[in-house]
């Protein structure tokens, strides 16, 4: 049996490399055009080329999102773009325009076509239809529960991809144009204004029936499928996808590392004990800035799976520094400050080859070797004493007192 | 171009049918146009007697658990010998093949069918026609319809569906605020964003929650130039109770021409005042977040 693929998002080259370093099997990114996350930095062609080479070196795959809902004008340049993706050996494109399937076959015969969750595939008949259309993989709708995923996987002969973590559309993906109506931004062409997370009054005729102290919202909690990873592996799901092309390198690093270790442990030991699952859940919480739950995986989504009033909550850790280099002789790391920390505070470092090591921030020097006690300038480079071997790509955080 | 009307109540059939080419309704996997199978057969017979068309609509998604129902339903539809089946879930294509219904299928992708190539791609699969997305400009509609002449349907009147969720937004909200309220399948509820004024119809039923445009989309003036290219124009009557108005819409869309269009449009808006809009016909919805 092939090992399930872990698939991570990245908004720029740096984050894509972090995802690969932290153990993802594949990364999905958007180019400058045709991609749904218009606010993500997105990749120039030269970035894509560099990423592809980096990924190949590390045995990882690269998928490029070409997933806007195309209008006629949007196809301009698409053939040339696909030829370019073929040339730089991109592994797959994630598409929602079915007409792209034959075009990809012509222009980029070695690039697979993965059908985006925008098409909300929710049953095995829909998956079969897409296979017949020429798809190489189908991303299932986030509305499918684990029972349905198991049933679908048992009935189709095409790789299935399932979301396991991150933000969720509260409506069916691709079938929400609230943003178009309320802001003239096309949700299906990268302009989603997240109108579902806004607050609404509710009337029955002319009578106000909503609670003025708790207005209605369609905002959903984020998805966290940690408790279902083992079941998904047993179902034969081909790929587990993390959402978040707008997210920081800290989120990417922490979430990828946690799921990487979880998947590897399940393959190694056959299953995950409750205490190990609790450990991994705790690790995922360190990267969370919105409450999460298991979405539709356990069945229906009741009111406990919605957010009314607050959107962000529950940050347990602040990401304070990124390690760029380490001088083993002097036990000093060159770090880039991300958030405030000060001498005497307990910090925790983690990295691709480093598991949660705690230490106290003691000696700190600025670029001119002046001793400092407070790191409060984001992007500033500092020398920080780290009493163990650190390396490029490691990250440092501190617990937030709640 | 055929003019079709979505049917909401059995008692409306007799009044509306003479002014239209056919009706659209269903039993399962749809919201707002539901009848029992017995009623559907009755409607079908009545349409046949008047030499009118009868279409089934399945405009919701279908979960794996509902697949058996989908097959049974298609089997029953086959026996009714309907004129067409509007579908939203691509799984219907796979299932319809078993019953030889492919050539009767009409794909309504709602917001995801916005271009000529996807339209042609779907039509090449042997289905009858497609319904274009409601978020297109007039020039985009013209271009797609010209590229696929006679194979394209369009919603020409009614509230536009803005969102569709499997989540039960209303029941969840009332649970959250601890209010016992009769919301299920109710069409009088309106959603108003706290910084805005317009009132968007919201309905929750067994299929999920649906939100519609505050405005009623209308395109009287534009239909004349599109008519040669369109196969069907759909008048969606959801949230429109007034039968007189529905009949008038049907009549006006049938008789409108370049010569009388201004008069017809003005008279209609005068006689049936409401919040009408040309939707996105003249407004592109591609503003980026930085603008």
- Chain B residues inside the 8 Å CB shell of A301: 166-168, 172
C-beta of residue A101 within 8 angstroms of C-beta of residue A135: yes
Q: Model-level pTM greater than 0.90?
A: yes
Give the Cα separation of B19 and B246 in Å (integer).
9
DSSP line for A219-248:
PBPEEE-GGGHHHHHHHT-SEEEE--TT--
Contact check, Cβ <8 Å, A126/B288:
no
- Chain B residues inside the 8 Å CB shell of A193: 289
Cβ-nearest to A303 among B63, B172, B193:
B172
Q: Which of residues 152-191 of B touch A (CB under 8 A)?
A: 162-170, 172-173, 175-177, 179, 181, 186, 188-191
Give the Cα separation of B102 and B96 in Å (integer).
6
Cβ-nearest to A202 among B143, B189, B288:
B189
CATH fold of B2-277, please?
TIM Barrel (3.20.20)
**Residue appearing with tokens 């529960």:** A145
Quick check: ipTM above 0.90? yes
Chain B closest CA to A211's CA: distance in Å? Answer: 7
Q: Is the pLDDT of residue B287 over 70?
A: no
**pLDDT band at residue A262 using 50, 70 and 90 as cut-offs:** very high
**Residue pLDDT, tens place only, A120-165:** 999 999 999 999 999 999 999 999 999 999 999 999 999 999 999 9
**Residue pLDDT, tens place only, A228-246:** 999 999 999 999 999 988 8
Single out the residue of B271, B267, B282, B130 nearest to residue B217, CA to CA.
B282
**pLDDT band at residue A1 using 50, 70 and 90 as cut-offs:** low
Q: A-B interface: how many C-beta pairs under 8 angstroms?
A: 238
Q: Is the pLDDT of residue A56 over 60?
A: yes
- Chain A residues inside the 8 Å CB shell of B117: 70, 72, 75, 97, 99
Contact check, Cβ <8 Å, A70/B287:
no
Single out the residue of A56, A198, A174 nearest to residue A118, CA to CA.
A174
Backbone angles phi, psi at A136, to 5 degrees: -100, -20
Q: Does A133 touch chain B (CB under 8 A)?
A: yes
Which residue of chain A comes nearest to B181, CA vs CA?
A209
Mean pLDDT of A83-92: 98
**pLDDT band at residue B169 using 50, 70 and 90 as cut-offs:** very high
Taken in order of first residue, the domains within chain A and their CATH numbers are 5-170+179-188+219-305 (3.20.20.70), 317-399 (2.40.30.10)
**Residue pLDDT, tens place only, A352-366:** 999 999 999 988 999
DSSP line for B236-272:
--TT---HHHHHHHHHHHHH--TTTHHHHHHHHHHHS
Q: What is the mean pLDDT of chain B?
A: 94
Cβ-nearest to B64 among A38, A124, A218:
A124
- Chain A residues inside the 8 Å CB shell of B179: 209, 211
Contact check, Cβ <8 Å, A182/B193:
yes
- Find the length of chain B: 291
For A12-141, where are the alpha helices, taking DSSP H only? Answer: 13-21, 45-57, 78-87, 100-107, 124-133
Cβ-nearest to B283 among A184, A191, A202:
A184
Q: Does A1 touch chain B (CB under 8 A)?
A: no
Q: Is the pLDDT of residue A38 over 70?
A: no
Single out the residue of B121, B144, B109 nearest to residue A119, CA to CA.
B109
**Residue pLDDT, tens place only, A356-402:** 999 999 889 999 999 999 999 999 999 999 999 999 999 999 998 65
- Chain B residues inside the 8 Å CB shell of A98: 118, 121-122
Contact check, Cβ <8 Å, A125/B284:
no
């Amino acid at each position: 049996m092939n090992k399930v693929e872990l698939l991570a998002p990245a908004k720029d080259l740096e984050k894509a490399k972090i995802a690969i370093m932290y153990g993802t099997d594949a990364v999905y990114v958007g180019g400058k055009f045709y991609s749904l996350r218009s606010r993500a930095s997105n990749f120039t062609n030269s970035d894509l080329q560099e990423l592809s080479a980096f990924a190949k070196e590390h045995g990882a795959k690269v998928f490029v999102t070409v997933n806007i809902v195309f209008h006629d004008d949007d196809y301009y340049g698409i053939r040339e773009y696909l030829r370019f993706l073929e040339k730089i050996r991109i592994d797959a494109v994630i598409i929602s325009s079915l007409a792209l399937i034959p075009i990809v076959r012509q222009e980029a015969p070695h690039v697979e076509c993965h059908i985006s969750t925008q098409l909300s595939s929710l049953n095995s008949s829909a998956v079969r239809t897409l296979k017949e259309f020429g798809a190489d993989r189908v991303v299932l709708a986030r509305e499918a529960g684990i029972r349905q995923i198991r049933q679908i996987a048992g009935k189709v002969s095409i790789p299935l991809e399932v979301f396991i973590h991150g933000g969720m559309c509260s409506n069916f993906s691709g079938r929400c144009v609230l943003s178009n109506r309320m802001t003239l931004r096309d949700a299906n062409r990268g302009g989603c204004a997240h109108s579902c997370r806004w607050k609404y009054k509710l009337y029955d005729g002319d009578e106000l029936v909503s609670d003025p102290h708790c207005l209605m919202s369609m905002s959903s909690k984020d998805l966290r499928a940690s408790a279902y990873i083992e079941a998904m592996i047993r179902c034969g799901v081909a790929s587990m996808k993390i959402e978040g092309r707008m997210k920081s390198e800290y989120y990417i690093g922490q979430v990828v590392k946690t799921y990487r270790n979880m998947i590897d442990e399940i393959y190694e030991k056959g299953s995950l004990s409750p205490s190990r699952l609790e450990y991994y859940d705790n690790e995922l919480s360190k990267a969370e800035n919105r409450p999460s739950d298991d979405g539709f995986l356990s069945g229906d989504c009741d009111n406990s799976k919605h957010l009314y009033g607050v959107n962000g909550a529950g940050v347990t850790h602040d990401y304070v520094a990124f390690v760029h280099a380490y001088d083993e002789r002097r036990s000093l790391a060159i770090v880039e400050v991300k958030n405030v920390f000060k001498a005497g505070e307990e910090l925790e470092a983690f990295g691709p080859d480093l598991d949660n090591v705690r230490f106290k921030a003691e000696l700190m020097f600025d670029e001119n070797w002046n001793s400092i006690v407070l790191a409060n300038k984001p992007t500033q480079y500092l020398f920080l004493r780290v009493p163990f071997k650190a390396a490029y790509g490691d990250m440092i955080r501190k617990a937030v007192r709640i | 171009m055929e003019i079709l009307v979505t049917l909401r109540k059995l008692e409306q059939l007799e009044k509306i049918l003479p002014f239209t080419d056919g009706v659209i309704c269903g039993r399962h996997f749809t919201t707002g146009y539901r009848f029992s199978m017995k009623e559907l057969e009755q409607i079908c017979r009545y349409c046949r007697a008047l030499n009118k068309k009868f279409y089934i609509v399945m405009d919701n998604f279908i979960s794996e658990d509902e697949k058996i129902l989908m097959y049974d339903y298609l089997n029953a539809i086959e026996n009714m010998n309907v004129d067409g089946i509007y579908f939203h879930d691509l799984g219907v294509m796979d299932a319809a093949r078993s019953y030889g219904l492919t050539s009767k299928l009409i794909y309504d992708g709602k917001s995801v069918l916005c271009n000529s190539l996807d339209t042609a791609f779907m039509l090449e699969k042997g289905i009858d026609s497609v319904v274009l997305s409601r978020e297109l400009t007039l020039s985009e509609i013209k271009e797609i319809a010209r590229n696929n002449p006679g194979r394209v349907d369009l919603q020409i009147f009614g509230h536009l569906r803005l969102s569709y969720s499997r989540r039960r937004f209303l029941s969840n909200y009332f649970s959250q605020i601890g209010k016992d309220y009769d919301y299920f399948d109710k069409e009088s509820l309106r959603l108003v964003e706290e910084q805005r004024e317009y009132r968007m119809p919201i309905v929750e039923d067994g299929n999920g929650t649906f939100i519609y445009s505050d405005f009623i989309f209308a395109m009287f003036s534009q239909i004349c130039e599109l008519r040669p290219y369109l196969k069907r124009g759909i008048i969606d009557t959801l949230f429109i109770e007034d039968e007189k108005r529905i009949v008038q819409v049907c009549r006006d869309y049938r008789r409108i021409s370049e010569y009388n269009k201004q008069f017809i449009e003005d008279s209609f808006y005068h006689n049936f005042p409401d919040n009408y809009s040309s939707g996105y016909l003249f407004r592109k919805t591609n503003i980026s977040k930085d603008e």
